[in-house]
Structure 1
Amino acid sequence: MASSEYRPIGDGAALNKMLPTSNGTRVKKDHDDSMRLEPTIGLFSGVTINVGCVIGSGIFVSPKGVILNIGSVGGSLIIWTFSGFFSMLGALCFAELGLAIPKSGGMYAYIREAFGECIAFLYVWLALVILLPVTFAALGIIFGQYILEPALVAMNCTDVDLTGCTQILAIICVSLTTYINCRSVRLAARVQDVLTVVKVSALALIIIMGIVEMAKGNTQNFENAFEGTNLIGLGGALYSGLFSYAGWYSLNFIVEEIKDAPRNLPRAIIISVSIVTGIYVLANVAYFAVLTPEELIQSNAVAVTFGIKVLGKFALIMPIAVALSTLGSINGTLLTSSRLFFAGARDGILPKLIAMINVRYKTPLPALFFVSLLSLVYVFVKDVFQLINYFNFVTWTAAGMSVLGLLYLRWKRPEMEKPYKVNIALPIVFVISCFILVVLGAINAPMDTAIGVAITCTGVPVYFLLIKPPRLPRYMELCVAKFSSFFQKVFLVAPEKKYT
């Protein structure tokens, strides 16, 4: 059998015959008769997507990590402020990268451009197999826990084991956000708009109540604010603070889908990171206006504890707000991170099927489908949160390498067009800081880091055995071809190019 006989449907011709649907309607093509991701995200949606990806459950649930490590109220507020400025530093560098290399995929695209395919593949491999699916599973479990919280409190059944119910709600949460993202980029952006407004409103309520408490004279926690500062715990405090800002790079994953990107990408990044920094610092001020450092450290859900003390019978607003905030984080991160796998498949380091687009909705349905499917598997892992700890070094390693790539490309390819450019000092400081953060993290949790590095290295044999060779074994090509053909027919997906 010739190879052309079992190759996956790749030119869209066979799929074009299937365009009439079961209800007799016909898929509408682009005006230019092409299959591609469309720029549908404006400035406001860009801001809400970035804000929504950054603000998850962390600021509601566990800002105690900073105060636990640094030991003082004043030191804690400085860490939260510095973390915001540092995230802005990285975000500005990423704005230049996103416009100099205007490709979906974010950090993957930049690492590949500067350092080659193999290193970029290791990042994609880790993100696809473990990092992002585990993150979605963990967020889904948190969503389930806080959806159930009001019912448990109402029935006074706080000691009941509802693991099964939590897992079912996590599956519903991940499945719903996946459907929304498969259905329409515009719909996913609109959902993100609404959920971001909800979570910001909840944090605004916390801030307002904190201001009210301070106006009543409850400022005793701010007296001698730096007493007890523990500089030895500075590294751990920084890691906790910066972890809560993770996601400031999200817009770079979807740069091809941003309207007027040279104008809107830098603006959306600057506005969103500024908003998050202001909210985080003010929310922590509000927490300390109501809770002592000891109460904050003892609480596993700071916003809920805060609500019980100041909102009385309306305190159940807080667990609902945490659940909706988590839902928004899943939706926004799924919208952006799925483009990482889409871009990798388009470049040939993942199966080409993952780079296909639904012909009706113009969404990367296969990429969304596979990462969500893995997420549903991880929902049933007993210690999913421990898995996340193994990969704390990944974000800052990948971010540092991306910005190091910016410096390399400035030197190697000075002719590269750069619609937006930052002062050379910013990427230098950022790269050095990322290196320090990775070292501090390894010192703080050497075993977790070692396990994470070992798992990452499993991608090396996968790359040299399955990705780098120009052809796979015949039986594997046949299996891939048959599965791709089946998936294309069932889900109406085609390659990102013109079809007739």
Structure 2
Amino acid sequence: MTNISKRRNHDNVDGKKRIKNIKEQNGEELHLKRELGLVSGVSLVVGSMIGSGIFISPKGILEHTGSVGMSLVIWVLCGLISMCGALCYAELGTMIPKSGGEFNYFLETYGGMIAFMYLWVANFILKPAIAIVILACAEYIVQPFYEGTSCGAPESTVKLIAICIVFLIAINCYSVRVSTFITNFFTFAKLIALALIIVVGFIEIFKGKTQYLNPKTSFIGSTSTVSAYALAFYQGLFAYAGWNLPLSIIIGIPLVTIVYVLTNISYFAVLTPEELLLSDGVAFTFAWKTLGSFAWIMQVAVVFSTFGASNANLLPGCRLSYAAGREGHMPNIMSMIHVSRITPVPAVLFLGSVTIILMIPGDIDTLINYFSFAQWFIYGLAFIAVLILRYKHPEWDRPIKVPLFLPVLMIIASIYLVIAPILDDPALEFLYAFLFIVSGLLLYFPLVKFQLIHPRFLDKITAFLQQLLQVVPSGYNV
């Protein structure tokens, strides 16, 4: 036997001994733990939602609505839609309180095929969409160095800095509590920063700068095509993305809506619509016009906001592939957790890797459209599930039970948000998203239903990764 083989065998035995020692010392089963209270829950909702959207979406919303007044209406409507959708999700989440979200809702409602399709879409489009937030973070980091130049920041520089996702991965692999602390800290920090924008903006309003906020003139130039507003909703609803933790949504979403509307009023009190449309970073342009040499404060605030939002979205996002691994819809390694940290290390590493891959070729606007189309297709299925489960299982306990008109209303909204963008602007990203969704259905039968494809080397890779990452299946006695 070679020295390399001897070392490998020694490492394997040593790893097994460490797991055995933990078993003898603790004598308990390993499971992911619920470590979020109400304050952390509200922070996670607010931290997930207030990320890059409020700093990049105002431009897109104004562009698609055509007027200041209608853009403010869209911001309010997006908040109402988010609240209605979150309440529907609250019924599903409290009725089926399992880690994995929509995967478990679809598994109970539609069966394995639709549940697998959701996993396919979520793991490769929805959860890695934090790439948008990270790209926005990177753009705000480099923007001051290229302010006033005609070419702007090089794309390669922005994307290189965006690899900060590696740091987020390390945090989430290390400790759920550390990750939660970071989310809480940056949530309060970003609210203070947004409060600064609101205060400065309203000072300008009190000085009489209300030219673009006059109700009689602010709606002039509004887009007349109904389907065109769908893309504006995409931009706004992306800023509200982050529905989770039912006990926190009643506080979190209204808070976010108020902050967003007041922030946009402040933007329009300082910037002309033309200046906003020409800006690649509206908050930074706002700061240069109001804070002068102290504009760097806003840059730091936006970086904090986007960094914190990336972390807040990565934490729950990785638990999807973890739950899928337990159901056999993804490789078994995804269902394993670290023997001492009790964190889903393989799932976090997987999500981080796919996020980086998605981030490299994409840009923010294309990714928002790609993400939003797929997201609202999935949301539509979830709202339909509320009605189906009411019919199939009326006896199930529902700690939160919404009026029937809410899921019906949200189903109509989902149909509009899936179809209208294609009618108004049939871009390729919508076709790619649709084909990707369909491909998940096609892969279900050979990979999951009949298990026709199961390479032998996959078991060896799983065993190797177990030893390398020091992970064991959830529920393993240690």
For residue 47 of structure 2, the aligned residue among 52, 67, 72 is 52
Separation of aligned partners in 1, 2:449 and 2:95: 27
Question: What are the equivalent positions in structure 2 for 1:100-115 lying under 5 Å apart?
Answer: 100-115=95-110
- Change in 2 beyond 3 A, CA 1:129/1:63: same
- 1:166 corresponds in structure 2 to 158
- Secondary structure of 2:396's aligned partner: coil
- 1:185 corresponds in structure 2 to 176
2:213 aligned with 1:222: yes
2:289 aligned with 1:325: no
2:20 aligned with 1:39: no
For residue 446 of structure 1, the aligned residue among 412, 415, 426 is 426
- Secondary structure of 1:19's aligned partner: helix
Contact conserved, 1:392 with 1:441, CA < 8 A, in 2? no
- 2:274 corresponds in structure 1 to 294
2:413 aligned with 1:420: no
More moved, 423-432 vs 268-277: 423-432
- 1:18 corresponds in structure 2 to 18
| CA displacement at 1:16 relative to structure 2 | 5.2
Separation of aligned partners in 1, 2:362 and 2:229: 31
Spell out, residue by residue over 1:365-405, the C-alpha distance to the aligned partner (whole angstroms, 9 max, x if none): 11001121222334432657535533421111111211210
For residue 148 of structure 1, the aligned residue among 126, 142, 157 is 142
Contact conserved, 1:391 with 1:449, CA < 8 A, in 2? no
Contact conserved, 1:62 with 1:302, CA < 8 A, in 2? no
2:326 aligned with 1:346: yes
2:249 aligned with 1:269: yes
- Change in 2 beyond 3 A, CA 1:384/1:84: closer
Separation of aligned partners in 2, 1:166 and 1:442: 30
For residue 119 of structure 2, the aligned residue among 102, 124, 135 is 124
2:467 aligned with 1:489: yes
Separation of aligned partners in 2, 1:497 and 1:146: 43
More moved, 160-169 vs 481-490: 160-169
Separation of aligned partners in 2, 1:42 and 1:393: 32
The code of the aligned residue for 1:465 comes to: P
| CA displacement at 1:276 relative to structure 2 | 0.7
Separation of aligned partners in 2, 1:219 and 1:204: 19
Structure 2 unaligned residues grouped into runs of 5+: 1-12
- Secondary structure of 1:357's aligned partner: strand
2:442 aligned with 1:461: yes
The code of the aligned residue for 2:187 comes to: T
Spell out, residue by residue over 1:428-465, the C-alpha distance to the aligned partner (whole angstroms, 9 max, x if none): 21112211221212213324322211122222332211
Spell out, residue by residue over 1:338-362, the C-alpha distance to the aligned partner (whole angstroms, 9 max, x if none): 1111111111111111011111111
Contact conserved, 1:126 with 1:459, CA < 8 A, in 2? yes
Separation of aligned partners in 2, 1:292 and 1:145: 22
- Change in 2 beyond 3 A, CA 1:400/1:14: farther
Contact conserved, 1:67 with 1:73, CA < 8 A, in 2? yes
- Secondary structure of 1:369's aligned partner: helix
More moved, 161-170 vs 279-288: 161-170
Spell out, residue by residue over 1:149-197, the C-alpha distance to the aligned partner (whole angstroms, 9 max, x if none): 34455xx8774754444333222x1011111111111111110001111
Separation of aligned partners in 2, 1:182 and 1:145: 26
The code of the aligned residue for 1:170 comes to: A
Question: What are the equivalent positions in structure 2 for 1:23-102 lying under 5 Å apart?
Answer: 27=22, 33-102=28-97
- Change in 2 beyond 3 A, CA 1:331/1:158: farther
- Change in 2 beyond 3 A, CA 1:193/1:76: same
Question: What are the equivalent positions in structure 2 for 1:276-291 lying under 5 Å apart?
Answer: 276-291=256-271
- Change in 2 beyond 3 A, CA 1:29/1:493: farther
- Secondary structure of 1:417's aligned partner: coil
Separation of aligned partners in 2, 1:289 and 1:84: 21
Separation of aligned partners in 1, 2:40 and 2:324: 25
Question: How many positions carry a matched residue from both structures?
Answer: 462
Separation of aligned partners in 2, 1:74 and 1:372: 39
| CA displacement at 1:229 relative to structure 2 | 2.6
Spell out, residue by residue over 1:313-332, the C-alpha distance to the aligned partner (whole angstroms, 9 max, x if none): 11122222222221112111
Contact conserved, 2:230 with 2:416, CA < 8 A, in 1? no
| CA displacement at 1:82 relative to structure 2 | 1.3
The code of the aligned residue for 1:231 comes to: S
For residue 131 of structure 2, the aligned residue among 130, 137, 142 is 137
More moved, 68-77 vs 205-214: 68-77
- 1:254 corresponds in structure 2 to none
2:187 aligned with 1:207: no
More moved, 416-425 vs 356-365: 416-425
- Change in 2 beyond 3 A, CA 1:166/1:66: closer
Contact conserved, 1:16 with 1:499, CA < 8 A, in 2? no
Spell out, residue by residue over 1:454-494, the C-alpha distance to the aligned partner (whole angstroms, 9 max, x if none): 12222233221112124644xx1x21111111111111111
Separation of aligned partners in 1, 2:24 and 2:82: 40
Contact conserved, 1:99 with 1:420, CA < 8 A, in 2? yes
Separation of aligned partners in 2, 1:333 and 1:120: 21
| CA displacement at 1:66 relative to structure 2 | 1.9
For residue 311 of structure 1, the aligned residue among 280, 291, 306 is 291
2:382 aligned with 1:377: no
